[in-house]
Structure 1
Amino acid sequence: MRVCVGTTVHHPEDARITHRQIGALLDAGHEVTFVAPFTHCNVTPRPGIRAVDVPRAVGLHRGKALRAAASALRRAVRDADLLLVHDIELLLALPRRRPPTVWDVHEDTIGALRAKAYLPGPLRTVLPPLIRAVEGRAERRLHLILAEESYRERFPGPHPVVPNHTYVPPAPPAPPGDSRVVYVGQISLARGAAEMVEIARRLRPHGIRLDLIGPADAAVRPMLRDAQRAGLLDWFGYVPNNHALRMAEGALAGLSLLHDVPNYRESTPTKVVEYMARGIPVVTTPLPRAASLVGRVDCGTIVPFGDVGAVAGAVVQSVLRLREDAERRAAMGARGYVEALNHHHWPAVAGAFVALLERWAQAADTVPALSPGRTVPA
């Protein structure tokens, strides 16, 4: 099977797209053409794929990227058996002549609008009905896979769920240490950037450092640079997901301080599962799914929402309690690892994901024909 995968919004090393889905397709012996912003993100395409470079869609200036993507997709799908796209924007750039097409829904597009500071006020009112119209058209005309069960409220059709699992090491990682706290992922205000800088400031007198591993939104980069110059934290910038998680191993705790915004409210933060997979106790804000998972497994602590100072204070207290009790943090890390290995390991669903695409590539129609409520795996 020849699969064309496309994105202009996500990083070409996005964990779900590249490390999980494309990796699973290549492991199954399929050919992959990947349309993505390699040059913009300074990424060398991984071996084994046919790479097509396009501009990245950023902020309000997305017209050039969309036109380039439309042209690239027209060329890339000529010999493809299936087209898999990851951005709602690409639904506006699909070739008229194309193979069976799949949209992987792994964001609440409307819910994410609140976190996009660059959007002027009027657009925040105009965009939601337009997005709903595009989503509705896609549901009628394309195959959809969903990253979260909660997305069924937006897409009531019988669409399979391909969960955002991670790779879990086959052997338990080293137990948590006592000298550093980590954060892995995109850094933004809505993901707790200001809180983390304050946490770093308060932890420094205790000899605990904060490692931030991931790219940052333009709005918070000056704040992070200033904090790094002052010696409050280490910000490593973008690091490929598998390397970033190895860097995180041995940390005292992993932070997930997402704000209470619609885009995060009904999702299980991937970073929570990634920390668990690496044997790291989690410190999370009380988003329902994150709090439910961490509380049920007892693999970390839950801190309340609040202003920057209040959240920072609660996190620092939790971190200091963990440092004082090596047995407790080791037990939390071990419980999290076992839970991740048994229930959130990507290879356990990778085969079903590939089989799903294989079936759609061979189907003559373009309408999903699955039993309602089906999840991958069942």
Structure 2
Amino acid sequence: MILTKPLKIIHISTVHHPLDTRILYKQCFSLANEGYEVHLIVQSHQDLQNINLPDNLYIWKLNVPKNRFYRVIFTVWEAYKIAKKIDGDIYHLHDPEILTISTLLKKNNGQVVFDVHEDYETSIKQKKYLSKPLRLLLAKIYKRIEKILTKSCHLVLAEKYYKEKFPKSKTVLNYPIVNDNEKIRTNKQKKERSNWLIYTGNVTEARGALYHAKIPKYLNSRVGVYFVGYCSETIAKKIYERSEIGIEINGVGHYVPRDEMDKIYNNNNWLAGVAIFPWTEHYYKKELTKFFEYMLHEIPIICSNFKVWKDFVESYNCGIAVDPEDDQDQKAAIEYLMNNPEEAKQMGVNGRKAVLEELNWENEFEKLKELYSNILNES
């Protein structure tokens, strides 16, 4: 569906990294490349210095807040003042704290879209730096506030199961970008499948960092694990304590840009992509973004055997689901891929085919444009 031009779209985030893949590369780049005027309001960051922007995409830099309290109060207000000055047709918000200005933006004759990146209620429940009673109380309070503030917004969901909380919404899933170069690329040009596993995304305990760290040890260093993504020095230290050999981490203390991550995917014929997470209420229903990226790059998946994850990899025959609490089950899955290279290769081929034909950003982008068009027609 073609949007009516001219259209001015303002994306706002006071929390996400300015090079966030979903916000910048998928949504803003795609819209700007089609000729729409796109403005992105984000925190200032040195990573913005070397980025090449398409025509019609403008980035407005917010002052870096001193702390979380300052961000929620002053940075959000700064973002509002910039957005009001630009005067957009659609304001696309990416963080819950910005919902506090949604009513003001609507009064500025714009339509407001809230992009639900996470299940924030369950995210609060797993913040270990808070006591459990406080976590539960804050999650309950957030749920009520979210329900009130999102009533006047159009909702976009990055994950299917969020429909349970927001039935009147549009899913625009976080599938990978498949450009022309990706369509013609083939892993047949790569050398033999290596004995390295790859993990991409933020490296945290809730995302299985310490489970992945044990792998080289129980496989007698026959495989290694390569982490790519932001990793705090505290977590990095814990990882290395569990396995001194067979571990590499790219991202300790810093964000790994999208183009660098894509090169890493392509520079090795990885044995598998791992996502062996401990059970948490926050993750067990999600179809992780890394699944689709592994699939695009013809990498078999080894993941926890949560029902949604197990059903997913089995439906596309693109990986193996394992018990996250059973080292021997994980070991058996990894050894199976090592000992059956042709079957491992076929899993990769199956996954890539699914992404090229179905699970890609280009299809999801059409849904986003349709939503914008419907919003403008209604207004």
Q: 1:133 & 1:218 partners in 2: Cα distance?
A: 35
Q: How does 1:187-202 map to 2 (within 5 A)?
A: 187-202=203-218
Q: What's the counterpart of residue 368 of structure 1?
A: none
Q: How does 1:231-250 map to 2 (within 5 A)?
A: 231-237=245-251, 238-249=255-266, 250=269
The letter for the 2-side match of 1:82 is: I
Q: What's the counterpart of residue 121 of structure 1?
A: 132
Q: What's the counterpart of residue 170 of structure 2?
A: 160
Q: What's the counterpart of residue 134 of structure 1?
A: 145
Q: 1:225 & 1:33 partners in 2: Cα distance?
A: 42
Worse-superposed segment, 131-140 or 325-334: 131-140
Please give the per-residue CA displacement for 1:124-183, whole angstroms capped at 9, x wherever unaligned.
1321222122221233211111122321221232x1111121124203531571221100
Question: Structure 2 regions of 5+ residues with no counterpart?
Answer: 1-6
The letter for the 2-side match of 1:12 is: P
Q: What percentage of residue pairs aligned between the two structures are identical?
A: 24
Question: Structure 1 regions of 5+ residues with no counterpart?
Answer: 365-378
Q: 1:55 & 1:42 partners in 2: Cα distance?
A: 15
Structure 1 pair 43/316, CA: closer, same or farther in 2 (3 Å)? farther
2:353 to 295, 317, 338: 338
2:81 to 71, 74, 81: 74
Structure 1 pair 68/222, CA: closer, same or farther in 2 (3 Å)? same
Q: 1:24 & 1:77 partners in 2: Cα distance?
A: 23
Please give the per-residue CA displacement for 1:103-142, whole angstroms capped at 9, x wherever unaligned.
0112111111233222233431321222122221233211
Structure 1 pair 227/47, CA: closer, same or farther in 2 (3 Å)? farther
2:43 to 37, 47, 60: 37
Q: What's the counterpart of residue 187 of structure 2?
A: 174
Q: 1:269 & 1:138 partners in 2: Cα distance?
A: 27
- 8 A Cα contact 2:91 2:112, kept in partner: yes
- 8 A Cα contact 1:8 1:69, kept in partner: yes
What's the TM-score, normalizing by structure 1?
0.86
RMSD (CA atoms): 2.4
Q: 2:119 & 2:143 partners in 1: Cα distance?
A: 11
- 8 A Cα contact 1:245 1:274, kept in partner: no
Shift of 1:203: 4.2
Structure 1 pair 46/85, CA: closer, same or farther in 2 (3 Å)? farther
- 8 A Cα contact 1:70 1:94, kept in partner: no
Structure 1 pair 266/116, CA: closer, same or farther in 2 (3 Å)? same
Q: How does 1:66-105 map to 2 (within 5 A)?
A: 66=72, 67-78=74-85, 79-94=87-102, 96=104, 97-98=107-108, 99-105=110-116
Q: What's the counterpart of residue 355 of structure 1?
A: 370
The letter for the 2-side match of 1:262 is: E
What's the TM-score, normalizing by structure 2?
0.86
How many residues matched?
354
Q: What's the counterpart of residue 306 of structure 2?
A: 287
